[in-house]
Structure 1
Amino acid sequence: MRENGSVERRTVLRAAGASVAALGLAATAGCGGDGGGAGDGSVELRFAWWGAEERAKRINKSVALFEKKYPRIKVKTDFQDYVAFWEKFQTQAAGGNPPDVFQNAVTFLRKYDKRGVLLDLKSQVDAGNLNLDNFRAGVEKVGQVDGKQLGVPVGSNTMSLVIDEKVFDKAGIKPEQGWTWDEYFAALKKIHDTQKVAGDTGYFGIMYLYDLFLRQNGKAFFTEDGLGFAEADLTEWWTDAYNRVKAGIITDPKKIEQLKPKSALASGDAGSEFTWDNFTVRYATEGDSSYGLAPIPTTDGKETGQYLSSLMLSASARTKHPKEAAQFIDFMVHDPEVGRIMGYDRGILATTEQFDAYRPADASSKAIAQYEEDVAAAGVLGAITPHPAGADTVEAAFLRIAGDMSQGKTKVSDAVKQFFSEAKTALAA
């Protein structure tokens, strides 16, 4: 999942959220559509994903290996950036012609299952065409919704706190597993007071981080069919964050906007930033300091609320070739050579075959792998919170409204009301 971190995610979610309402999808069922086939028994699968050129090179190389092993199956590949991918996919799905296999994420599973777009892969598991064994830390469950297997993970990641190690060392702060939010905020103030830099780039608009905080307190961002928290909860979270911005221990949001697409952590304008652990490779290329991964703060000194999330591969319910689609997915997630080719481009490799086959050489990738091993060993990983249909639109709204609130464009109370109004509309669609 090696997009360009939280900055790119902010940009694409705004666009994705804006496009969702405009593009309806007709419900589809069964097999049909525009799958390829020929009189000689050969089959053509269409495979689509989002990402940059580097990911395309790695995937196309992996596809070539698959075609060598399965010479009668040809794979036609297609990729765009995140926004363009989902706009094209929505149009294809509405027309009943989505790709046979495509990259997917947890926020879209219920949405497209509700519209009959996704193939339940359990039948292919039962038929022996797809193996769900040997997934690390139970990450295969990320693709399970309402008893269906709607996606198969290709990599895993979890929320983390990236720190500027030099800043933290100079301030005399050493984060340890089980530290509390009070200790974290005290650390931010100490960094601000001693190092004359904001402690954090701004955490209040990260939906998945807020989900962890809620989970630490017996709630969750989503239930299976709606939101799992109240207006009073969000009011407290955003009020606290806004006060810390005003106190200077959070980077000025206007500065954040000016620095984009560069992170304020990499520019030296903050000492830490919450993000997915596999995004952390960006800081070494953007910044001049040394960066490390620190534990997520806790409410009770124990539970972090963390879980493994993942990019995954899904198949179309309309594919004419469910067996071949399943064989392709199986190859892409289990083949050791594919693991060596893909590396951590889409997160820490999900299966033990691929994880054991790839040995990262760079310090950033080694640190990411070690972080996930440490989190798993700490016993804090739980099951991912279910995401209802419309979760992608809700996430886009949360990010946008939090940004407006942090810059003083809207009051906290108004921002909370606006978010709940937009979320209610998105989840009812």
Structure 2
Amino acid sequence: MGHQISRRTLFRTASGLAVAGTLGGALSACSGGTGAGSTSSDLTMTWWGSDDRHNAYKKALKYFQEKNPKIKIRETYSGYEGFFDKFNTNIAGGSAPDLLQMDTALVAQYARKGVLAPIDEYVGESLDLTGFSKTLLAAGTVDGKLYGVPSGIGVNQLTVNRSGLEELGLEFPDPEWTWTDLRKISQDVHKKSGGKVHGVDDVGGGALQAFEVFAREHGQTFFSDDGKKIGFTADTLQQWWEYWAEMRKLNACPPPAITSAAHNDLTKNAVVIGKALFTFDIGVYGAGGSITDAQLDFLPTPQGDGSGAREGNFVNGGVLLSATKASKRVADSVKIMSFFAQDTTAIKDMQLYRGIPPTEKARNLIASGLNETDKRNMAMADYISKRVSKAADVLPAPAPPPQGADQIWDLLFQSNLAVAFGKKSIKAQLGEFFDQAAGVLGG
């Protein structure tokens, strides 16, 4: 029951932004917030997730309605696949839900199309966001307005086969580790295992979450503020690819065939199949639980080398709760958002089913009921959150990604594979990456 959520995971497991590519056509008739909203007298709420998440929501909402008998809630829920296709259809037909669970990867596009209601006017009144950091709230903020309340902390971290390290007689790394430390321990893993196991999966060479941290350590963002351009330089990407080329040369990470096979298939992840002990793919311990029997632990994405290394890690908002602009029940929807954010019963009911809880109060409330791996997972998320909040030179949290981001993320992964398989030199692939990215973003 790990429940970490990231934009990388959303894209890899469900192609979250793929549905967003059709937003322009599907929503052209309702841009600006037109449409009837729900025709029922009940407040309609919809979300996606696992059966455990469904049951937790239903239990919490039953309690909410007992305390607020004038607000009747009609619930609909499903898995992620097809969720936003149905949402788009409902919007176009004037039957959008009043309240929905929103993907952080899509919030900017729906907000700018006039589908979502800004909720700033309720903050401090019926919407209690005590304990939410500004960094965390940025996940639901678009063009300076708040369109969604984060459900939890999404952090950039590695999942580690801790029992595998112990069997090789290797110490678990300090969380203040660096990219050099990752290279060193990955070499040690390969040597100690007699060449049978590598240190870290090469998913890092193309993973959004890992490279985004690396770019931020150089004072650069993944996308420009307006979302029309790539925000990092060719020099930064070159350094990144050179790092992973060296990792492959040193056998610190598996050969590219393993990397390629694991793309979009967690069952073939290098840690899951026993070919590596570290992975950047947090889905190995995600909303559906662990897909490996190994004892797992967690570490922040490494920092740059040296005592003056800039903080590159950041905190995002898991999933959001958002109200639709066409709804006549925005005020009631906001009450529900505040309920999930602050009510003790709701927090205990939801546990980790919407991510690591967003406030220290909430994390403390559920800590005693967690298993040991969940406790380690939440403790690391808390550690990263506090470290980021104390950093003096950290960049603001990334803005919600622009349309076309899914294509850029996949282009990064495929570019890394082209270099890894020797099909392209780093220099040649750099030029191709930036040319194609400019075409996608229109910059």
Letter in 2 for 1:335: D
* SS state at 2:215 partner: helix
Contact 1:223 1:386 (C-alpha < 8 Å) held by counterparts: no
Report the counterpart of residue 289 of structure 1 in structure 2: 294
Letter in 2 for 1:291: L
Structure 2 CA distance for partners of 1:261 and 1:93, relative to 1, 3 Å: same
Report the counterpart of residue 21 of structure 2 in structure 1: 21
* SS state at 1:134 partner: coil
Structure 2 CA distance for partners of 1:318 and 1:348, relative to 1, 3 Å: same
Report the counterpart of residue 305 of structure 1 in structure 2: 312
Contact 2:71 2:332 (C-alpha < 8 Å) held by counterparts: yes
- Verify: 1:389 aligned to 2:402, yes or no: yes
- Verify: 1:145 aligned to 2:126, yes or no: no
Report the counterpart of residue 40 of structure 1 in structure 2: none
Contact 2:218 2:310 (C-alpha < 8 Å) held by counterparts: no
Structure 2 CA distance for partners of 1:102 and 1:423, relative to 1, 3 Å: farther
- Verify: 1:331 aligned to 2:331, yes or no: no
Q: CA deviation at 1:245?
A: 3.2
Matches within 5 A, 1:15-414: 16-24=16-24, 25-26=27-28, 28-30=31-33, 32-37=35-40, 43-125=41-123, 128-135=125-132, 139-169=136-166, 170-195=168-193, 196=195, 197-202=197-202, 203-225=204-226, 226-245=229-248, 247-256=250-259, 258=261, 260-262=265-267, 263-276=269-282, 280=285, 285-301=290-306, 302-310=309-317, 311-359=319-367, 360-378=369-387, 379-380=390-391, 383-390=396-403, 392-394=405-407, 396-398=409-411, 400-402=413-415, 404-405=417-418, 408=421, 410-411=423-424, 412=426
2:12 to 10, 13, 25: 10
Give me the identity figure in percent.
23
Size of the alignment, in residue pairs? 420
Cα deviation per residue 1:243-299 (whole Å; 9 max; x = unaligned)?
A: 5335432123433555633232133210101244x8635898432332211233211
Letter in 1 for 2:12: R
Contact 2:105 2:400 (C-alpha < 8 Å) held by counterparts: yes
Q: CA deviation at 1:425?
A: 4.1
Unaligned runs of at least 5 residues, structure 2: none
* SS state at 2:173 partner: coil
In 2, the alpha carbon distance for the partners of 1:188 and 1:3 equals: 24
Letter in 1 for 2:216: R
RMSD, aligned α-carbons: 3.1
Letter in 2 for 1:322: V
Unaligned runs of at least 5 residues, structure 1: 38-42
Structure 1 residues 132-141 or 107-116, which shifts more? 132-141
Q: TM-score, normalised by structure 1?
A: 0.86
In 1, the alpha carbon distance for the partners of 2:415 and 2:70 equals: 51
Structure 2 CA distance for partners of 1:8 and 1:130, relative to 1, 3 Å: closer
Q: CA deviation at 1:9?
A: 4.7
Structure 1 residues 246-255 or 357-366, which shifts more? 246-255
Q: CA deviation at 1:342?
A: 1.0
Structure 1 residues 207-216 or 367-376, which shifts more? 367-376
In 2, the alpha carbon distance for the partners of 1:67 and 1:406 equals: 56
